[in-house]
Amino acid sequence: RKEVEQDPGPFNVPEGATVAFNCTYSNSASQSFFWYRQDCRKEPKLLMSVYSSGNEDGRFTAQLNRASQYISLLIRDSKLSDSATYLCVGVTGGGNKLTFGTGTQLKVEL
Amino acid sequence: GAGVSQSPRYKVAKRGQDVALRCDPISGHVSLFWYQQALGQGPEFLTYFQNEAQLDKSGLPSDRFFAERPEGSVSTLKIQRTQQEDSAVYLCASSGRTESSYEQYFGPGTRLTVT
């Protein structure tokens, strides 16, 4: 079983829709969590950090539930430009090691 | 400012050849990481340097993989006697690592194809 698990998708949604991605992790020693975004044939880029209290950045909301070892990302009013792969990431080893999920592919359509 | 750069961007090697992949981190970043990303998968951790010290190499898949960062800036990932299963994108990342930030900045990657 992978340490960080995600539904690979693809999620095909119409422009303006709200879409939610979920991620589970098995390493309870994971200290921090992030969502990274990766466009096709590009490098991953940090989208946002994930906190137990929730973290909102514009149309994006991330949430961590440590008891259930579950992380979520909500995208409201999705845009064509949101089409990408979203990677759930756990941090261990004092911040020295990022453990990535396989990524969830999102396609926003007209 | 300049981001993380990697070279070459693409490399085709015949099985059994040795390859060397270069990473130039963001200036001043003390931490440098190498990841391997197979098609359809997330990046997998290979190794980590703090300055010139290799502090974690637990992700290197075999002794054919070797990484160095002799002066604490540029790093090279070397793969000896390449195999087809080594075909992947090799990503380098660097981090400035303040106490409150774990953000890693990734380079564009080197796409290695072993034929």
| Chain B residues whose beta carbon lies within 8 Å of the beta carbon of residue A40 | none
Q: What pLDDT does residue B31 have?
A: 92
Residue A34: pLDDT over 80:
yes
CA distance linking residue B21 with residue A79, whole number of Å: 36
CA A70 to chain CA centroid, nearest Å: 11
* Token duo for residue B67: 């990484």
Mean pLDDT along residues A71-94: 93
Tokens of A98: 């990022």
Q: Report phi then psi at A105, rounded to 5.
A: -90, 130
Question: Which of A2-6, A43-47, A100-104, B66-70 shows the lowest mean pLDDT across its residues?
Answer: A2-6
Confidence band of A30 (pLDDT split at 50, 70, 90): confident
CB contact, 8 Å: A91 with chain B?
Answer: yes
Tens of pLDDT, residue by residue over B5-49, are 999 999 999 999 999 999 999 998 999 999 999 999 999 999 999
CA-CA distance, B10 to B36, in Å (whole number)?
14
At B68-112, the pLDDT tens digits run: 999 999 999 999 999 999 999 999 999 985 544 568 999 999 999
Mean pLDDT (chain B, rounded): 93
For residues A84-102, give the mean pLDDT.
88
At residue B98, the pLDDT reads 54
Task: Answer whether A20 touches B (CB < 8 Å).
Answer: no
pLDDT at B34: 97
Q: Residue A45: what pLDDT?
A: 95
Whether B42 and A96 lie within 8 Å, measured CB to CB: no
Q: Is A90 on the interface with B (CB under 8 A)?
A: no
What is the Rg, in whole angstroms, of the alpha carbon atoms belonging to chain B?
A: 13
Contacts of A32 in chain B (CB under 8 A): 102
Q: In this structure, what token pair is assigned to residue A23?
A: 């991620």
- DSSP character string of B60-111: --STTEEEE-TTSS-EEEEESS--GGG-EEEEEEEE---TT----EE---EE
pLDDT at position B1: 59
Q: Chain A partners of B107 at a C-beta cutoff of 8 Å?
A: 43
Interface test with A, best of B102, B103, B113 (most A CBs within 10 A): B102
pLDDT computed for residue A43 by the predictor: 96
Residue B33 forms contact with A (CB below 8 Å):
yes
A96 touches chain B (CB under 8 A): yes
> Can you tell me the distance from the alpha carbon of A80 to that of A63, in angstroms, rounded to the nearest whole number?
23
pLDDT band at A76 (very low <50, low <70, confident <90, very high): very high
The full length of chain B comes to 115
Rounded to a whole number of angstroms, the distance from the CA of A85 to the nearest CA of chain B is: 10
Query: What's the pLDDT tens digit per position in A8-29?
Result: 889 999 999 999 999 999 988 8
Which residue in A has a C-alpha nearest to residue B56's C-alpha?
A96
Q: Does residue A92 sit at the B interface (CB-CB below 8 Å)?
A: no
